[in-house]
Amino acid sequence: MRCQIGNPGLSQRYKMVEEVSSGKRVSVQRPTDELVQKIRSWLEPGVRTKWSDRPRERLEDELNDVLKGFLIACGVLQRWRIRRQ
């Protein structure tokens, strides 16, 4: 079975912090140590498209759920394609 799911991507979260640079206060984005895995494709409501680090559970510990989510998303997209034919 071959299925392309939008543009999945792994990214790192960023947070805005205020710093003083050249005597001026500026807001800059700084990376956190939190990872986020997203399916960047619209799917029907109720289909999970985002997994991320949580205080008590790291993304690495959720890989089985992420893979299940990709399989579910693939099934949804295949049903849509069949209906459009």
pLDDT, position 2:
65
Euclidean distance between CA atoms 82 and 73, whole angstroms? 14
Nearest Cα to Cα of residue 50 among 58, 40, 60: 40
Euclidean distance between CA atoms 28 and 69, whole angstroms? 33
pTM of the entire structure? 0.69
Residue 42 reports pLDDT greater than 60: yes
Residue 27 reports pLDDT greater than 90: yes
Nearest Cα to Cα of residue 9 among 52, 61, 62, 64: 52
By the 8 A CB rule, do 41 and 80 touch? no
Euclidean distance between CA atoms 46 and 3, whole angstroms? 20
Mean pLDDT computed over 30-49: 87
